[in-house]
């Protein structure tokens, strides 16, 4: 006999079901609208890739590649990884298909990271994001940041702060890394347990460390902004003054280096202050002007961001923003066997209304209970007398105290009458 014990979803993952999934769907639909407004088209790439896409893309020494990736061998002996983030896959697709530039795409994707689960940090989360390849025009940086900002604004978030920094390009960063390494080497004894011996593997990661000893050592050390070349400084100044021009407030954060090795020049993060200090980034991104080359393509600049849907939902809750999503328009209660309901729901749905019904020929009382629970605006009642006279009784389910709560209409008029109700309710 097979084992009858129920099996739950894996640790650090969540089922997103009706009741919550409406909010999820609203976020995706809103993002799709904004991404289209900014000229981005939808891109869908496989959830798993050759592990090299991520090792080369996000950097073999990044925490995500070293400790968090779900890597597996398929039955043909190839080594794949589940996508831990969206950017490397999109750039892999760009290199493979040579689209004309600028190439601007948006995506919605699950991302998989073997992290220590906690509120706002999951082993499977979902990201909405964009990537734009083919130009290093700083006004593109402004537009990409603006898209995220307007999206958050439209959702109703008011306590999101934009932190921004420049990582410089390879040469500025090489100079900086020499100085940073000298500083860390001198003070390595004062770093946190993880970085005391491991800092030299990737010194920039120490800037990312939130532990107090690392913050103290790096605060007293050199900062990347002071090593930017003239071009990088000018690029950054154009981005920040562009943000000023279109009224997007920003905060310079010289410690912001982000977790992946592909970043160059502009990097940014959106911090939801309503979420407190842990897991409060609702989005982040930046330029990656060397990534296409790292993945075997022609030198091509790029920039993008990803925004965590679960974190956005937490931030909306923390700011007490209620996302409205349209519920059912009508619920059909047919106590004559269900055949009238079959035709009725089809007709109403064809007219663009959202309609549900009950099944299994239940009693009037039980069907009405379902109608009430469904959240529909009206119930459409079909009993023996209605069937006889070719009518339907419409009952208002949301305003129980109105005098004309219930009205009888002919089957021919039912679509128009329900539309009247739902228009009035808007
Ligand atoms: P990221 O900062 O690693 O960047 O992730 C983007 C967003 O995904 C975060 O700001 C956060 O909202 C959410 N997120 C990340 N990890 C988790 C998790 N374990 N649980 C819940 N939410 C999470 C990237 O992934 C880059 N690909 C962004 C980018 C696009 N850069 C350039 N283009």
What are the average pLDDT values for consecutive 10-residue runs of the chain, which has 426 residues? 89 95 96 98 98 94 91 98 98 98 98 95 98 98 98 98 96 92 93 90 87 93 94 98 98 91 95 92 97 97 98 97 88 96 96 95 95 94 96 90 82 94 77
Rounded to the nearest angstrom, the distance between the alpha carbon of 128 and the centre of ligand 1 is 9
| pLDDT at residue 38 in the model | 97
User: Nearest CA to 331 among 349, 308, 309, 311?
Assistant: 349
Q: What is the largest CA-CA distance in the chain?
A: 92
Provide the angle, in degrees to the nearest 10, between the axes of the packed helices 138-155 and 230-245.
40
Nearest residue (CA) to ligand 1, atom 18: 121
The finding on whether 310 has its CB within 6 A of some atom of ligand 1 is yes
Matching residue, tokens 């025009």: 137
The DSSP secondary-structure symbol of 321 reads P
Residues 6 or more apart in contact with residue 369 via CB below 8 angstroms? none
Classified as helix, coil or strand, 322 is coil
β-strand 48-50 against 79-82: which pairing, if any? Answer: antiparallel
Pocket probe for ligand 1: among 306, 310, 312, the residue whose CB has the most ligand atoms within 8 Å is 306
Domain architecture of the chain: domains with CATH = 21-169+229-318 (3.30.930.10), 330-425 (3.40.50.800)
The minimum-distance atom of ligand 1 relative to the CA of 121 is 20
Tokens standing for residue 230: 């003239």
Looking at residue 402, what is its pLDDT? Answer: 66
> Are the CB atoms for 73 and 79 separated by under 8 Å?
yes
CA distances to 6, 100, 103, 107, 205 from 80, in Å: 29, 28, 26, 21, 25
Distance CA 26, CA 44 (A): 19
Q: Is the CB of 57 within 6 Å of ligand 1?
A: no
Cα radius of gyration rounded to whole Å, the chain: 27
Residue whose C-alpha is closest to residue 286's, from 309, 253, 257, 246: 257
CA distance 304 to 237: 19
In angstroms, what is the span from residue 284 Cα to ligand 1's centroid? Answer: 6
Q: Do the beta carbons of residue 282 and residue 307 sit within 8 Å?
A: yes
* Exposed/middle/buried for residue 383 (C-beta within 10 Å: 0-12, 13-18, 19+): middle
pLDDT of residue 327: 85
Report how far ligand 1's centroid is from the alpha carbon of 309 (Å): 10
Residue 1: predicted pLDDT? 63
In this predicted structure, what is the pLDDT of residue 116? 95
* Distance separating alpha carbons of residues 340 and 392, to the nearest angstrom: 10
Give CA torsion, residues 76, 96, 53, 297, to 10 deg. Answer: 140
CA 221, chain centre distance (Å): 35
Provide the token pair at 336.
């004559």
274: how many CB neighbours lie within 10 A of its CB? Answer: 19
Number of alpha carbons in the 13 Å side-chain half-sphere of residue 279: 17
d(Cα 299, Cα 290) in Å, to the nearest integer?
7
In short, whether 62's Cβ falls inside 6 Å of ligand 1 is no
Residues in the chain: 426
Pair 400, 377: CB distance under 8 Å:
no
Q: Is the CB of 308 under 6 A from ligand 1?
A: yes
Distance 101 CA to ligand 1 centre (A): 25
Find out whether the beta carbon of 302 lies less than 6 Å from any atom of ligand 1: no
Q: Are strands 264-272 and 160-166 parallel, antiparallel or unpaired?
A: antiparallel
Burial class (CB in 10 A: 0-12, 13-18, 19+), 38: middle
Is residue 295 within 8 A of residue 344, CB to CB? The reply is no
Output the pTM of the full model. 0.92
- Close Cβ partners of 227 (under 8 Å, ≥ 6 residues apart): 168, 172, 173, 175, 176, 179
User: In terms of DSSP H, where are the helices of 189-261?
Assistant: 193-198, 204-208, 212-219, 230-245
Residue 403: its pLDDT value, please? 66
- Give, for ligand 1, the residue of 127, 143, 271 to mutate: max count of ligand atoms closer than 8 Å to Cβ: 127
């Amino acid at each position: 006999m097979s084992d009858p014990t129920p099996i739950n979803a894996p640790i650090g993952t969540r089922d997103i079901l009706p009741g919550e999934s409406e909010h999820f769907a609203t976020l995706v639909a809103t993002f799709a609208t904004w991404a289209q407004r900014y000229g981005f088209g939808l891109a869908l790439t496989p959830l798993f890739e050759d592990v090299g896409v991520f090792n080369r893309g996000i950097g073999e020494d990044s925490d995500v590649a070293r400790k968090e990736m779900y890597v597996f061998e398929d039955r043909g002996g190839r080594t794949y990884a589940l996508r831990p983030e969206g950017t490397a896959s999109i750039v892999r697709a760009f290199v493979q298909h040579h689209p004309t530039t600028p190439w601007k795409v948006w995506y919605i994707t699950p991302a998989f990271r073997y992290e220590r689960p906690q509120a706002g940090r999951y082993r499977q989360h979902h990201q909405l994001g964009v990537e734009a390849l083919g130009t290093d025009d700083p006004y593109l940086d402004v537009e990409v940041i603006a898209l995220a900002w307007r999206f958050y604004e439209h959702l109703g978030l008011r306590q999101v702060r934009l932190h921004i920094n420049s990582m410089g390009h390879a040469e500025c960063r090489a100079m900086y890394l020499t100085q940073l390494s000298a500083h860390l080497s001198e003070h390595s004894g004062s770093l946190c347990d993880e970085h005391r011996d491991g800092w030299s593997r990737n010194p920039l990661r120490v800037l990312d460390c939130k532990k107090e000893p690392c913050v103290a050592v790096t605060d007293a050390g050199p900062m990347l902004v002071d090593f930017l070349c003239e071009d990088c400084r000018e690029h950054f100044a154009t981005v920040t003054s562009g943000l000023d021009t279109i009224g997007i407030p920003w905060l310079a954060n010289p410690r912001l280096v982000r977790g992946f090795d592909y970043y160059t020049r502009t990097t940014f993060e959106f911090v939801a202050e309503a979420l407190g200090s842990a897991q409060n980034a609702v989005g982040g991104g930046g330029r990656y002007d060397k990534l296409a080359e790292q993945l075997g393509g022609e030198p091509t600049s790029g920039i993008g961001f990803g925004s965590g849907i679960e974190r956005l939902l937490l931030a909306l809750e923390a700011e007490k923003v209620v996302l409205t999503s349209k519920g059912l328009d009508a619920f059909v209660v047919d106590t004559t066997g269900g055949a009238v309901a079959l035709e009725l729901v089809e007709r109403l749905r064809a007219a663009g209304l959202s309609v549900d019904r009950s099944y299994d020929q239940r009693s009037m009382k039980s069907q009405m209970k379902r109608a009430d629970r469904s959240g529909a605006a009206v119930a459409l009642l079909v009993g023996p007398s209605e069937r006889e006279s070719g009518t339907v009784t419409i009952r208002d389910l949301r305003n129980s105290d109105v005098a004309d709560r219930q009205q009888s209409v002919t089957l021919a008029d039912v679509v128009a009458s329900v539309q009247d109700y739902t228009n009035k309710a808007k």
